[in-house]
Structure 1
């Protein structure tokens, strides 16, 4: 098995004559935390959407675990073990935190929307649901409706529902966007815990604006500018690259 869980070859996306992603070749190491950063308009979100199959590439190829997934549907990619968490929290507000995770646990069973099932038939999932809530620091909020959770805790709940699918690779779209300092620290700690969870060898790819989060979490950082890879490497190396400082850090995001 290759050391790289995801590889792209010349990945390109053109929108009506505008090239948003231009011949990007990535290699994401298995079991690592990899960040995509760049100034606004750099192409990182488009690249992320290509990898998760929410956009079709104009040219190039995407490989996951050595398998060509360039034209694979998003749902099928998720079944292979690459699962995306969205920038806007995707939970059922009227349901408790426990119920949200329980629904996610039903997905592999093919019963996700069998809401009419009795509590007795679903209660067998409660133990695992509570373990996942505990993993993300939400055990004490198990009976709280998702709508009543703080923004940061909603994001933690979303990560718990994503982990319910037991992904081999977790893709996070700006996981700390819109958060206050306390919530940023909580989510950063959670990502670290999820990535390093014993026995999982889980890979995390994230698009993130907060450089302090990226610096503390990432093994590798890919910097995009104008749709192309500008630099790649550990934070210590990338942050001292003059081109990166000019293109990204000099824009006020540092």
Structure 2
């Protein structure tokens, strides 16, 4: 396989604080890749750089063979590099189907055609229902989004992300705030969404990471500390020290 998303010497400083320092990252196409590390390791900053919500201080980003280091975030998303956020981003007052329909509509161009009649917008209904079925929300299509339990709101967010026809999906802490009963279902959804796509995820739940991910990059203090499979990185004394605050000598 070849890397579809790469960071080369990626760095970002804020008033002298080095949040991300010379990060090299290669995400293989059609893989599930995790970016993990203790709090303050620079994971979300790295996500913001890769998706162009932040400009790097140094380094470059290559997506699908193209240098996107200075491209606008919206342009990058239109080319299929799409992210989610830690906080569920749906329109709570709209119906579940309407949320997905709006995301599908977004693929038509730059505008959300709020002024169009419902009859015209119904052209997206079949595709929206198919996406809802894909994430297990087929029976919730006519419910208001605000009535969904938290785990199902995250499933709706995944459906709206898939509506943008991503080639690479970046998930920022997809299990955050979920109870144990939702985590297994969410992991299954991510595995299903990854079929034919690439997933890069920031996640604190290491059991989920171990179960889902092909490769793991560990950040600490803004730098790459270790990389490899779960068994390899979890046994690395530097990773143990970064997470637990002590080394093997303690």
TM-score of the alignment, normalized to the shorter chain, above 0.5: yes
Cα distance per residue 1:43-69 (max 9 Å; x no partner): 111111110111100000000011110
Partners of 2:118 and 2:244 lie apart in 1 by 52
Aligned residue for 1:53? 52
Structure 2 vs 1, CA of residues 22 and 111 (structure 1 numbering), >3 Å: closer, same or farther? Answer: closer
1:42 aligns with 2:63: no
Equivalent residue, structure 2, for 1:124: 123
| Counterpart for residue 233 of structure 2 | 238
2:189 — aligned with what?
Answer: 190
Mapped partners of 2:16, 2:84: distance in 1: 30
Q: Using the TM superposition, name which of 39-48 and 105-114 deviates more.
A: 105-114
Distance change >3 Å, CA 219–CA 250, structure 1 → 2: farther
Quickly say closer, same or farther: Cα 1:161–1:57, change in 2 above 3 A.
same
Structure 2 equivalent of residue 229 of structure 1 = 224
SS of 1:248 mapped into structure 2: helix
1:37 and 1:108 mapped to 2: Cα distance?
Answer: 31
Query: How far 1:110 sits from its partner (Å)?
Result: 2.7
**Matched residues in 1 for 2:110 and 2:13: separation?**
38
The worse-fitting range, judged by mean Cα deviation, of 11-20 and 115-124 is: 115-124
TM-score (norm. length: structure 1): 0.94
**Kept in 2: contact 1:10–1:24 (CA 8 A):** yes
The answer for the alignment partner of 2:28 in structure 1 is 29
Q: Name the SS for the 1:36 alignment partner.
A: strand
Contact 1:7–1:26 (Cα < 8 Å) also in 2: yes
Partner deviation per Cα, 1:110-161 (whole Å, 9 max, x = no partner): 3752223222211121111000000000000001100110111111000100
Instruction: For residue 91 of structure 2, give the secondary structure of its aligned residue in structure 1.
Output: coil
In structure 2, C-alpha distance between the alignment counterparts of 1:176 and 1:4, rounded to whole Å: 26
Equivalent residue, structure 2, for 1:161 = 160
Looking at structure 1, the residues matched to 233 and 15 of structure 2 have their Cα atoms a distance apart, in angstroms, of 32
Task: Establish whether residue 139 from structure 1 lines up as the match of residue 125 from structure 2.
Answer: no
Unmatched runs of 5 consecutive residues or more in structure 2: none
Please provide the CA RMSD for this pair.
1.3
Distance (Å, rounded) in 1 between the aligned partners of 2:110 and 2:218: 41
Deviations 1:155-203 (A, max 9, x none): 100010010011000010100101101111111110011112xxxx200
Answer yes or no: is 1:207 the counterpart of 2:206: no
- Figure out how many residues of one structure are paired with residues of the other and give that number: 246
